Structure 1
Amino acid sequence: MVTLDHLRATYFEEAAELLERAYAELAALSEGRAGEDTVHALFRAYHSIKGGGGAFGFTRPVGLAHVMETLLDLVREDRITVAPDLLALLLRGTDMLADLLAAERDGVAATPGVEAGILDALESAAKIDHIAREQAAPVQAAAAIADGWRIEFRPHPGLFRSANEPLHILRELAGLGPVEVVADPSRLPGINRIDPEEAYLSWTVTLRAAVARAQVQDVFEFVIDDCDLSIDALDDATEPAATMAERPVATPTAEPAPPDIAAAPNASPLAQSVRVDVAKIDRLVNLVGELVITQAMLAQHEATLPPDLCPGLTRGLETLSQHLRELQDGVMAIRTQPVRTVFSRMPRLVREVAGMLGKDVRLVVTGEGTEIDKTVVEQLADPLTHLLRNALDHGIEPPDAREALGKPRQGIIQLSAEQRGGRIIIEITDDGRGIDRARVLARARERGLVSAEATLSESEIDELIFLPGFSTAETVSAVSGRGVGMDVVRRNIEALGGRIRLESRLGHGSRFTLTLPLTLAVLDGLVVSVGRDAYILPIAAIVESLRPRREDVRDVVGHGQVIAIRGSYVPLVPLHTRFGVAGAVNDYTRGIVVIVETDHSGQIGLLVDDLVGQQQVVVKSLEANWRRVDGIGGATILGDGRVALILDVAGLAALPAVAIPAAPPRAHLHLH
């Protein structure tokens, strides 16, 4: 049963999407990327927010949206130009609209009169053309009320999908006065081709009543974007519209000929969508994960049978595996969403913080359509907020300082996202002052984070900013200085199975690169054996595998061993020494070295006993089922029912060797 609370929740979801669209269109205007429909799309966003909010009695956001809609209507009529000051005003208005809607959503009363200033500014901007309006007033007044109106109402095919009903609209017109309604069924297809979810009829309505045009327009307020509409005043010379009985009506044949697709450009099906509760999607993802595990178990048992015993079973399992992969890809696609939902909040943050700091900064956003697992998206907001505030406060210089350095007064911060293989790469780049490594090192020594005798490389100095409590700010402000932020960023990103990397040039700026998994639910992995244990290496991290020769391995004093590969040396990490696995291969010439790529340490070689095979695995949280383990990113269930740990290859490089017990205890772990 659909309740009012359900409808309210749906409205707020749609309003959030409309606000994202509004911010995107405003960004297009500010960056000179506006197209013919940009202003119209912006107008429709505010109009839809107003229309839906009015149904729930959200007076304050509706009032603000109405004023912004009025202002944009003047822009559409070329009576106002979108100058930078007007664009800034629209951005402020959109920010305020977002705040008012958030207050209504959370059931919290917004501060009384908080929107008064922006309302005054918007109304003032709308009166810029008051002279033109006063000159046109007599003409408008004459046309405002007429003895009657001729209305042509042609719904778009998807009208019903926006929960509108033409019959209600016609009845509302009849409430204004006597009407003559003529239906046009010419778009009706044959009965066997009718889609009950599409609108086919259109109407011509003659309203014979002295009412204002605005009253007629209000009837169509909620369908204005879903129809073709014309409203013309009747006069004495206007021929009365024929009644339904007087006008010949084209009757469609029972079996019309199929239309010529090439001659019907509007015949393409409309994109359709349906809102689904997130809990239902998560349940579906979990069920598909269980199917993947069951399929792996069946394949494990089938492998023990003689090949000619049951060939039909083998073929069936192969087909099942293929269909299951397609099903899984489809379900994962449902679970993903564009990073736009997070990126759209960042321009406002940059504007507000830059204003607080007295800096002129432009945010350039690209790749906002990149899709990523919804769980990852939901947890990106805080890290991105910290990184952008850091770039604004520590990176971008004040306008006068930039000018003195020969830079443009306006600083640039770039926020981008892209998919590379099985990972999502998000970059935050600024053209500010960069990292002053001498100052960072000095501050770390002052706080006892680094010993006075320590000699650090540039990358090791950069890593200091991620230490808890570290800050180079001289004073504590509302933006920074308390040493809380960058360590939280790293912890949050690593909790998502991702990594963060910093690159910087003094005087030229910095770049933070976030590498995140495409999905947290499933991954393609390589099963490797170490002693009696099995581990999973993410396929996306693997470069190659090889069996090393004795002469390829070298000892490095204080740094363990390295392996020579095509003229370069890669650190060698025996996996059994990192997890204390007994009974593993100690002789690297009898084991397999898997070369993997890490974000911080470059390539490393993992020594394992053997390669078992590639397998798609369902990721289970080890922390939720047991506890956090360094070097482990999760767990899964193999086809034989054993629990296998999924390796965090980036964390393995820094993991120290541990003592190997003679008889290691076998822990029992149940994953849910």
Structure 2
Amino acid sequence: MSNDALRATFFAECEELIESLTEGLDAIAQGDRDKETINAIFRAVHSIKGAAGAFGFNDLVAFAHRYETVLDLIRADKLDISAEILRLITRSSDALAELVELTRDTGSASLDPVQDLINDLESHAEAVKAEEPPEPDFVFAPLSVIQIDDPSPTPSGFVIRFQPTAAFYTNGHEPARYFAALAALGTLSVACDTSAIPPLTDIDIDENYLRWTLTLSGDTDADAVKAVFAFAEGLCTLDVSPLADAQEPDTSPEPTDPPASLFGIPLDLPPSGPATAPAITEPTTSPAVPNAAATPAQSAAKAPVKTATTLRIDPDRVDRLINTVGELIINHAVISQKLAACGINNDSEIMAALDDYRYLAREIQEGVMSIRAQPVKSLFQRMGRVVREAGEATAKPVNFISEGESTEIDKTILERLADPLTHMLRNSVDHGIESAEKRQQAGKPAIGSVRLTAAHRSGHVVIEVADDGAGLNRERILAKAIEKGLVPADAKLSEPEIDALLFAPGFSTADSVTNLSGRGVGMDVVKTTITSLGGKVGITSVPGKGSTFTISLPLTLAVLDGMVIGVGSETMVLPLSSVVETVRPSRSDIHEIGPGECVLSVRGTFLPVVDLCQLFGLRPVRAAAADRSYVILDASDTSVAIAVDAIWDQRQVVIKSLEGNYGTVTGIAAATILGDGKIALIIDSEALVGLVAPRRTSRPLVELEA
């Protein structure tokens, strides 16, 4: 595997580890102080540090080392998780994630922006270590017994039988460091059994032949002893028995002087007896991996854990597969159209077989799309960092709540959602959430809430950003719009129309420019990005109760359900998600209200009429209003009536991008290939409404009969 491939794998694993880290911190914030939760957090940071060191990412290693030092103190119960410490380790998690992203994007990361955070981590670690008593010194001598402090038996304590597996060593573990950690719990006696060592010629260097019997005396409990070996779980055989209940005779080797030779090879060992060596202050551990060598007692005590398996695939391969499935769908349309041209009845056997082909192609397409689908969990976790940073920048305490993190969405869409959601969440904190004082005056909790949710609804992914703040100040929004010349001074706008002003380029209600807002580009970016993805944005707001921004997006960008229409001599496709209904009105339902402007009356509601032939410079096949069909579209919370010459069919079409060859074409989203081999343009409903809204022409959009 090439170095680039290894780096890509490293950063992919970092994303998973940061997800695990964030989950653990969220659990702690909700009151879960379980040892395993803290151990999982430590393992994630330690794994990132170890792998980053292999690639020479020294700054990333340096920060992760300081971070894990504090986490190690927490898991050793030397540092309590107070509100200040929780905030510190959460900020450190955010910083670590940002350093990983920066290293991935640029190849390196500077510690300058996080130097204050590093100082905080070091100061807390030094404060704890300054209060610690010096650890007992001991030496681990092979084939001998080590006596630490007082080896005499005491009424309380434990007998620990410990035998590592080969995987214990390949994962970077060292028994002496575990013994040092045990020595901190009481008086420890260590005996090594070498009886299983085979002759030198039969030794497997990848195997382990040593086992230890340790006697720990002192006032401690079994949980504390087992916690020392937490990171060796699955990598060793471990038995912890109370000292008072140990009834079987002690079969551990008697303390003897070390032998002069081993397998006939002279050994130059220090004299037996007490010796001194530099104290070992902290255990170095690595993530545990499952091992079949666990004892039956351990297997019975622990329920089987399902391990989720993942398969990393080159995105180019997935894209090629998706394109092939698209060709399969097009091929089905070609066969269907040729059979219809031959006059074959729909109830014939061959048409029934073709229907089976269509269902099978649809299932394959959905299966392939699910490969590229990813849960929004990683994106939502990044947004949690955005909310915390915005809360600190505005001095507003904010709780971030996320729901529906398992909701899956196309990877292409997921990658482009980061910027829109960042702007929306910052606006919710900066403009939506009030200060703690104002909230208390309004009878609200001092801490505001921002909720980010995702769910599947009617073939779409719906993402909502909701806050419990003051809601939209529509009077202020309208006044700012008039001040900036976006609407006339005497404009009478409805609430949805006022809300839509938030998405206007350059619009902002901020009185001054800050790091979070004031330049009027945030919500414009949201609107532009979501529209380019084939989605739409909606707003609901109740004064004093808060606001909710709703994003509706297609599940995939590769295939869509469309309505095939005739526009002049051309065939086009309207996204079915924007179509409300189709109507064939009478002459009396169409009204000309001014030069070049008509409206269509539909059940007492008047809708503006858009003539696609005129808009795209085509000649209509049927100029008379009574001979034309109308498609009612709902886009950008605005309904319009589209005048077309024919409505042919509803079918699934494969999206073919035009941008690579033609750039952005206003009003056209993409193209597709029909069953007869013709190319049909896919209309961009959102852009179409924005294009015709200010349109004024001297000719009527629809020619009415006299």
Q: Tell me whether the two structures share a fold, i.e. TM-score over 0.5.
A: yes
TM-score (norm: length of structure 1): 0.76
| Alignment CA distance shift 1:129-1:310 (3 Å) | same
Cα shift at 1:437: 2.2
Residues 1:617 and 2:653 are matched in the alignment? yes
Cα shift at 1:300: 1.8
Residues 1:406 and 2:443 are matched in the alignment? yes
Cα shift at 1:653: 4.0
After superposition, give the CA deviation of every residue in 1:226-268 in whole Å (9 maximum; x if it has no partner): 656538899993357xxxxxxxxxxxxxxxxxxxxxx9x9889
Residues 1:561 and 2:569 are matched in the alignment? no
8 Å contact kept, 1:300–1:639: yes
Q: 1:6 matched to which residue of 2?
A: 5
1: distance between equivalents of 2:613 and 2:328? 32
| Alignment CA distance shift 1:144-1:391 (3 Å) | farther
Q: 2:676 matched to which residue of 1?
A: 640
| Alignment CA distance shift 1:32-1:585 (3 Å) | farther
Which residue identity lines up with residue 511 of structure 2 in the other structure? Answer: E
Cα shift at 1:534: 1.9
SS at match of 2:210: strand
| Alignment CA distance shift 1:478-1:528 (3 Å) | same
8 Å contact kept, 2:59–2:110: no
- Choose which of 418, 433, 446 in structure 1 pairs with 2:470: 433
After superposition, give the CA deviation of every residue in 1:66-115 in whole Å (9 maximum; x if it has no partner): 45445445555666543322221111221232243345434555445665
Which residue identity lines up with residue 564 of structure 1 in the other structure? Answer: V
2: distance between equivalents of 1:171 and 1:69? 17
Cα shift at 1:639: 0.9
Cα shift at 1:448: 2.4
8 Å contact kept, 2:334–2:675: yes
Cα shift at 1:600: 1.0
Q: 2:61 matched to which residue of 1?
A: 62
8 Å contact kept, 1:147–1:209: no
2: distance between equivalents of 1:414 and 1:133? 43
8 Å contact kept, 1:151–1:205: no
Q: 1:628 matched to which residue of 2?
A: 664
SS at match of 1:369: coil
Q: 2:221 matched to which residue of 1?
A: none
Residues paired across the two proteins, number: 600
1: distance between equivalents of 2:485 and 2:50? 60
- Correspondences of 1:103-502 after superposition (within 5 Å): 103-106=102-105, 109-111=108-110, 117-122=116-121, 125=124, 134=133, 147=145, 151-152=162-163, 205-207=209-211, 224=232, 227=235, 230=238, 237-239=250-252, 270-307=307-344, 314=351, 317-502=354-539
Q: 2:43 matched to which residue of 1?
A: 44
8 Å contact kept, 2:599–2:606: no
2: distance between equivalents of 1:90 and 1:269? 29
| Alignment CA distance shift 1:128-1:360 (3 Å) | same
Which residue identity lines up with residue 328 of structure 1 in the other structure? Answer: Q
TM-score (norm: length of structure 2): 0.72
8 Å contact kept, 1:424–1:515: yes
- Choose which of 494, 516, 525 in structure 1 pairs with 2:562: 525
SS at match of 2:561: strand
Of the two, which has the highest radius of gyration? Answer: 2
Q: 2:99 matched to which residue of 1?
A: 100
Q: 2:619 matched to which residue of 1?
A: 582
Question: Any stretches of 5+ residues in structure 2 without a counterpart?
Answer: 147-159, 176-191, 199-205, 215-227, 254-299, 702-706
2: distance between equivalents of 1:36 and 1:314? 63
Which residue identity lines up with residue 230 of structure 1 in the other structure? Answer: L
Cα shift at 1:586: 4.5
8 Å contact kept, 1:181–1:204: no
2: distance between equivalents of 1:267 and 1:434? 49
Which residue identity lines up with residue 674 of structure 2 in the other structure? Answer: L
| Alignment CA distance shift 1:268-1:453 (3 Å) | closer
8 Å contact kept, 1:25–1:39: yes
After superposition, give the CA deviation of every residue in 1:36-65 in whole Å (9 maximum; x if it has no partner): 854343233223223322333444433543
8 Å contact kept, 1:150–1:206: no
8 Å contact kept, 2:197–2:209: yes
Q: 2:86 matched to which residue of 1?
A: 87
1: distance between equivalents of 2:472 and 2:462? 22
Q: 1:666 matched to which residue of 2?
A: none
After superposition, give the CA deviation of every residue in 1:407-445 in whole Å (9 maximum; x if it has no partner): 322222111221212222112122223322222222222
1: distance between equivalents of 2:470 and 2:520? 19
SS at match of 2:500: helix
SS at match of 2:493: coil
2: distance between equivalents of 1:381 and 1:458? 28
8 Å contact kept, 2:193–2:252: no
Which residue identity lines up with residue 283 of structure 1 in the other structure? Answer: R
| Alignment CA distance shift 1:271-1:437 (3 Å) | closer
Q: 2:18 matched to which residue of 1?
A: 19
- Correspondences of 1:588-603 after superposition (within 5 Å): 589-601=626-638, 603=639
Q: 1:250 matched to which residue of 2?
A: none
2: distance between equivalents of 1:515 and 1:309? 36
8 Å contact kept, 2:564–2:573: yes
Cα shift at 1:473: 1.8
Residues 1:511 and 2:519 are matched in the alignment? no
1: distance between equivalents of 2:599 and 2:361? 43
2: distance between equivalents of 1:592 and 1:287? 35
SS at match of 2:443: coil
Q: 1:260 matched to which residue of 2?
A: none
After superposition, give the CA deviation of every residue in 1:105-150 in whole Å (9 maximum; x if it has no partner): 3455544566554445445555787799649x56x96999984996
Which residue identity lines up with residue 325 of structure 1 in the other structure? Answer: R
Which residue identity lines up with residue 210 of structure 2 in the other structure? Answer: T
Cα shift at 1:618: 0.9
| Alignment CA distance shift 1:38-1:575 (3 Å) | farther
Q: 1:670 matched to which residue of 2?
A: none
2: distance between equivalents of 1:345 and 1:660? 52
Cα shift at 1:580: 4.3
2: distance between equivalents of 1:348 and 1:171? 34
SS at match of 1:303: helix
Name the stretch that deviates more: 231-240 or 99-108: 231-240
Which residue identity lines up with residue 358 of structure 2 in the other structure? Answer: S
1: distance between equivalents of 2:655 and 2:89? 45
Cα shift at 1:616: 1.6
Cα shift at 1:480: 2.0
Which residue identity lines up with residue 238 of structure 1 in the other structure? Answer: T
Which residue identity lines up with residue 598 of structure 1 in the other structure? Answer: A
Question: Any stretches of 5+ residues in structure 1 without a counterpart?
Answer: 156-164, 184-201, 211-219, 241-262, 663-672
| Alignment CA distance shift 1:457-1:539 (3 Å) | closer
Cα shift at 1:563: 3.7
1: distance between equivalents of 2:354 and 2:531? 37
1: distance between equivalents of 2:335 and 2:103? 52
| Alignment CA distance shift 1:466-1:114 (3 Å) | closer
